[in-house]
Amino acid sequence: MRQELDSDLGIKIGLEVHCQITSLRTKLFCSCPSNYRDYEPNSVICEICMGLPGSLPRLNAKVIESALKIALALNCEIPPVTNFFRKNYFYPDTPKNFQITQYDKAGGVPIAHNGFLDSWQGRVRIRRIQIEEDPGKLSYDGNIVTSPYALVDYNRAGIALTEIVTEPDLKNPRHAREFLFKLRSILEHIGVSDGSLEGAIRADANISLAGGKRVEIKNVSSFKEVDRALNFEITRQKRLPGGVMETRHWDEVRRVTVTLRVKEEEEGYRYFPEPDLSPVTVSRDLIDRLKAIMPELPDQRRARFVNEFKVSDEVAKIITSEKAMADFFEEVILLQYSPKIIGGWLAVDIPGYLKRRGLDFKEIGINPSHLAELAKELADGKINDNVAKSILMKILPVGESPRKYLEIENEMDEPSLREIVTRVFARNSGAVEEARHDPRVIDFLIGQGMKETRGRADHALLRKLISEKLSQESRSNQPKP
């Protein structure tokens, strides 16, 4: 139903995803440190990233390799020469009044173009990948519309980004979210961008409904918000068909989009080649070398999990959607080879728990040995599936070993121990008879009871129950006077 509705509306969604190259130690064109989040506002800046007169940008050469790895992972074509352009605009987040970026017209050649990423709902074409510098960060008092002022922090200005631009191939908000998760997993696997850092991966979305104008949504801070913002826009555009082409701001607090500016035409940016940077040659050798050292990507890892560990494709797909989860899975498997049990917990139970609490996988407190310990108990048949799951839910929030809960679980309660004693008596009638006269034989019966419970019985309680039963039976066996 929902799918039909989406296609009837003619929804077209495209994404522009900005990814910080977090593996670099310095900014894109200067030697300011790249871990700007760790510093006081406006304390890691220099004449280059502030664009002071007389300063010249110098390209951090390592960014080329990182961007090329992304390009290879996204099946892009890579031109032999790439160059930089200036995008001119006046806004307080850019101290230079222009951003050094790449362009695909007027002689501009971005680092890569014409790629694709196969998502669960179909192929999404990648239009281009460009390298560019991040602007500074603006903060408001409350929201952008009502705030009486804007604060600006230039620590982020000049940080190396790649912008990944898709064709409008995404069919609905859920598709957009799936795409972003897969892209993030790919970036994590290549090791160029750590998606857990605040603002390291940011998406702008553009969306149009059949016949309507294209609206761009900015300032979407998380993947969850992408979903919300797009759903809001679908509803808004359905109610107000034929609106204007504009850029809207996603207000996370009120959960609405508001007009930011009626879309400037590209000419408004007066793009021209960056005169202070020469074009960069990308050799065939470099590409071949990078291809040779490309790490395993999520799709390959997923296929390997299915082949090697015999987990279902669905389970493998979920686990590899996040590198941290896939790594965790393999670590647990090394300690306790129960891939199906562990895969099920990681793909179903743990995500369910995280969703209920609005948490990320990286926020779980338990470590692989905790999960291995629990899986071993289940695999050895000492606890059943339900007990294992209930212990799992107890250890997830506190991040502790399941040991304590297993001990409680393993200790037999009195009624079940009584049943065991009855069984031991039935199987060992000879010994029971002897025990009536020789108290030392009671120890033999206790031993049988311990064996029966695989050592989980409370020794003293077992002795008490056996003694009680012996005296009861000898009383009832006595001939009636």
Q: Which residues bind Zn ion (CB under 5 A)?
A: 30, 32, 46, 48-49
Q: How far is the CB of 130 from Mn ion (least distance, A)?
A: 7
Count the neighbouring beta carbons within 10 Å of the beta carbon of residue 276.
12
The alpha helices in 95-222, defined as continuous H runs, are 173-190
Could you say which of Mn ion, Zn ion, none residue 163 binds, taking C-beta under 5 to 8 angstroms by partner kind? Mn ion
Report the residue number, 163 or 452, with the smaller CB distance to Mn ion.
163
Q: Say if CB 275 and CB 57 are below 8 A apart.
A: no
Q: SS3 of 166, please?
A: strand
Instruction: Return d(Cα 385, Cα 451) in angstroms, integer.
Output: 23
From the list 7-15, 26-34, 78-86, 160-168, the region that binds Mn ion by CB under 5 A is 160-168
Question: Token digits for 45?
Answer: 């800046």
Could you say which of Zn ion, Mn ion, none residue 183 binds, taking C-beta under 5 to 8 angstroms by partner kind? none
Q: How far is the CB of 64 from Mn ion (least distance, A)?
A: 18
Q: How far is the CB of 355 from Mn ion (least distance, A)?
A: 31
Could you say which of Zn ion, Mn ion, none residue 30 binds, taking C-beta under 5 to 8 angstroms by partner kind? Zn ion
Q: How far is the CB of 49 from Zn ion (least distance, A)?
A: 3
Instruction: Return d(Cα 43, Cα 378) in angstroms, integer.
Output: 54
Q: How far apart are the first and last CA of the chain?
A: 83
Report the residue number, 60 or 320, with the smaller CB distance to Mn ion.
60
The amino acid present at 36, given as its one-letter code, is: Y
Q: How far is the CB of 54 from Zn ion (least distance, A)?
A: 14
Report the residue number, 163 or 216, with the smaller CB distance to Mn ion.
163
Instruction: Return d(Cα 180, Cα 185) in angstroms, integer.
Output: 9
Could you say which of Mn ion, Zn ion, none residue 49 binds, taking C-beta under 5 to 8 angstroms by partner kind? Zn ion
Q: How far is the CB of 132 from Mn ion (least distance, A)?
A: 5
Q: How far is the CB of 211 from Mn ion (least distance, A)?
A: 28
Q: Say if CB 84 and CB 101 are below 8 A apart.
A: yes
Q: Say if CB 445 and CB 435 are below 8 A apart.
A: yes
From the list 158-166, 272-280, 336-344, 453-461, the region that binds Mn ion by CB under 5 A is 158-166
Report the residue number, 89 or 361, with the smaller CB distance to Mn ion.
89
**According to the binding rule CB under 5 A, does residue 330 interact with Mn ion?**
no
Could you say which of Mn ion, Zn ion, none residue 64 binds, taking C-beta under 5 to 8 angstroms by partner kind? none
Taking residues 221 to 240 in sequence order and writing x for each that binds Mn ion by CB under 5 A, - otherwise, the string is --------------------
Report the residue number, 18 or 382, with the smaller CB distance to Mn ion.
18
Report the residue number, 32 or 341, with the smaller CB distance to Zn ion.
32
Write the DSSP string, 211-259. Answer: TS--EEEEEE-SHHHHHHHHHHHHHHHHHS-S---EEEEEETTTTEEEE
Report the residue number, 59 or 335, with the smaller CB distance to Mn ion.
59
**According to the binding rule CB under 5 A, does residue 204 interact with Mn ion?**
no
From the list 58-66, 163-171, 233-241, 441-449, the region that binds Mn ion by CB under 5 A is 163-171
Report the residue number, 51 or 243, with the smaller CB distance to Zn ion.
51
For Mn ion, which residue has the nearest CB?
163
**According to the binding rule CB under 5 A, does residue 163 interact with Mn ion?**
yes
Q: How far is the CB of 99 from Mn ion (least distance, A)?
A: 7
Comparing CA positions, the residue from 166, 167, 178 lying closest to residue 227 is: 178
**Which residues have a Cβ under 8 Å from the Cβ of 46 and sit 6 or more positions away?**
30, 31, 32, 55
Tell me the CB-side half-sphere exposure of residue 152, using CA atoms within 13 A: 11
**Which residues have a Cβ under 8 Å from the Cβ of 369 and sit 6 or more positions away?**
335, 401
Instruction: Return d(Cα 400, Cα 371) in angstroms, integer.
Output: 10
Q: How far is the CB of 23 from Zn ion (least distance, A)?
A: 18
Report the residue number, 96 or 184, with the smaller CB distance to Zn ion.
96
Q: SS3 of 261, please?
A: strand
Residues near Mn ion, by CB under 5 A:
163
